Amino acid sequence: MKIKTAVDALAALAQESRLSVFRLLVQAGKEGLAAGVLGEKLGIPPATLSFHLKGLTHAKLVKSRTEGRYVIYTASYAEMDKLIAYLTEHCCAGDSAQCAPRKKC
């Protein structure tokens, strides 16, 4: 992953609504969710949701497909994995143990 791609992905996820959309799509799995369902579950109006989905799609974190008259969105697990690998490699000196969550005392 190139640094620009990582920056684009992190910038897309840095906004609360986009992060919520992405998290919900990750949880939805490979089947994904229709735009209307996403909006209902998150309480985001259609025009606003469209704006956020465009940002996530531009960052390659979300994909869409048409099923009948519905647009179904899914998380791009491959891009998510690339971002995690990039952060691990470049921010943890290649040692993923350094990036592991710390246990609470």
Q: Are 72 and 64 in contact (CB under 8 A)?
A: yes
Q: Are 35 and 71 in contact (CB under 8 A)?
A: yes
Topology (CATH) of 3-93: Arc Repressor Mutant, subunit A (1.10.10)
Q: What is the mean pLDDT of the chain?
A: 90
The answer for residues whose C-beta is within 8 angstroms of residue 23's C-beta and 6 or more apart is none
Q: Are 57 and 68 in contact (CB under 8 A)?
A: no
pLDDT at 7 over 90: yes
Segment 9-33, tens digit of pLDDT: 999 999 999 999 999 999 999 999 9
How do the domains of the chain map onto residue ranges?
Answer: 3-93
Segment 60-79, tens digit of pLDDT: 999 999 999 999 999 999 99
